[in-house]
Amino acid sequence: MIKLNKVSKWYGNFQVLSDCSTEIQKGEVVVVCGPSGSGKSTLIKTINGLEAYQQGEVHVDGVHVGHSHKELAALRARLSMVFQHFELFPHLSILDNLTLAQIKVLGRNRADAEAKGLKLLARVGLKEQAAKYPGQLSGGQQQRVAIARALSMDPKAILFDEPTSALDPEMVNEVLDVMVELAKEGMTMVCVTHEMGFARKVASRVIFMDKGNIVEDRRKEDFFNSPHSERAKDFLAKIIH
C-alpha cells in the first residue's frame, strides 16, 4: 500500500536521500534503522508529505504523494504519525488532543469524537487522565496519548519516528507494549527505531539506511542472522550489547 520509487532529496548540495525504493504491504511492520543522520526521519516523512523530495515517486494507496495540497490533506488523515518528542498540543487537554483533528479534519461531531477518544485512551490505559494537560503526564504516558491520537484518525498505517528514544529507560516498555499490540492486530506500521527487541518480536522486515541509501531491505530473520553489508554488521554489533 506504500510504494517508494527512487526517491531522492537534497538540501543544497547535500544529498539526504539517494534513490530510495521500497514497498510496504498492508499489515506489514517494517523497522527502519541506521546511524543517526542517515536519513531515516526524512525518508518516512516523505511518505505522508511532511518532507518534499526532488526526484522519484511516493504512492500511498495508489495516491501520488507530492503535489496537490488537497490530496495531501486527505492522505495525511489516513496515515498517522508518532514523533520522537510526542508533539502533543500542550494547550489542550488530553481528550481535546484526541478530538481536534477528528472534528476539524474528519468532520465528526463532538460527542462521537469524545466517545472514540475515551475508548482509545482506555485502550492505552490512560482513561483517567482525559481531563489533564500533556505537561502533567510522564513521557511514557504522553507517547501513549500520541499513539491514541494517531489511532483516532482511523489510519490505514502509522509511521513512528523513534517513538521511544526521548524516553527514560523505565518508560520504554509501556510504549513498546502498545506498539506490539498494534502490530499483532495487523496495523501497518513503519517504525524508525533502534529497539531491536521490538524488531525481532514483531517486524516483518528491516530496512537499514546509511548516508541516505537503503543499504539493506530484508526479512528480519535474514537481516539479524546474516547482514550483507559491513555497515549493518558494525551497526548491529554496536547496538546489541
Partner 1 sequence: MNTVELLSMSAPRLAMGALITVKFAVAAMVFGLLLGAVVAVMSISTDRLLPACARAYVSVMRGTPLLVQMFVVYYGLPDLGISLDPTSAGILTLTLNAGAYLSESMRGAILGVGRGQWSAAHSLGLSHYQTLRYVVGPQALRLAVPSLGNTLISLVKDTSLVSVITVTELLRSSQEIIAATYQPLPLYIAAALIYWVLSTVLSAVQHHVEGRLTLQTR
Ligand X SMILES: Nc1ncnc2c1ncn2[C@@H]1O[C@H](COP(=O)(O)OP(=O)(O)O)[C@@H](O)[C@H]1O
Contacts of 222 (CB under 8 A, 6+ apart): none
Rounded distance, CA 206 to CA 233, Å? Answer: 13
Which conformational region is residue 12 in: left (phi greater than 0), alpha (psi within -120 to 50 degrees), or beta? left
The one among 74, 131, 239, 240 contacting partner 1 by CB under 8 A: 74
Q: How far is the CB of 87 from Mg ion (least distance, A)?
A: 14
- Residue (5 or 84) nearer to ligand X, CB: 84
Q: Which of 20, 38, 58, 193 binds ligand X (CB under 6 A)?
A: 38
Among 37, 90, 186, 197, interactor with ligand X by CB under 6 A: 37
Q: Does 112 contact partner 1 by CB under 8 A? A: no
d(CA 164, CA 182): 16
Q: How far apart are CA 180 and CA 29, in angstroms?
A: 10
* From ligand X, Mg ion, partner 1, none, interface partner of 36 (C-beta below 5 to 8 A by class): ligand X
On whether the CB atoms of residues 24 and 188 are closer than 8 A, the answer is yes
**Cα gap 41→133, rounded to integer Å:** 27
Which residue, 79 or 196, is less far from partner 1 as judged by CB? 79
Q: Does 213 bind ligand X (CB under 6 A)?
A: no
Distance CA 148, CA 209 (A): 28
42 binds ligand X, rule: CB under 6 A: yes
**Looking at beta carbons only, is 10 or 89 nearer to partner 1?**
89
Residues with Cβ within 8 Å of 188's Cβ and at least 6 positions away in sequence, in order, are 1, 2, 24, 25, 26, 27, 28, 29, 156, 157, 158
76 interacts with, out of partner 1, Mg ion, ligand X, none, CB within 5 to 8 A per kind: partner 1
Q: Is 39 in the site for ligand X (CB under 6 A)?
A: yes
Interface with partner 1 includes 136 (CB under 8 A)?
Answer: yes
11 contact choice in ligand X, Mg ion, partner 1, none (CB below 5 to 8 Å, kind-dependent): ligand X
Sheet holding 205-210, edge to edge: 79-82, 157-161, 188-192, 29-33, 205-210, 213-219
Does residue 101 belong to the site contacting partner 1 (CB under 8 A)?
Answer: yes
Q: Is 180 in contact with 198 (CB distance < 8 Å)?
A: yes
Q: Which residues bind ligand X (CB under 6 A)?
A: 11, 16, 34, 36-42
Q: Which residues bind Mg ion (CB under 5 A)?
A: 41
Q: Which residues bind partner 1 (CB under 8 A)?
A: 45, 48-50, 73-74, 76-77, 79-81, 83, 85, 87-91, 100-101, 104-106, 133, 135-136, 149, 153
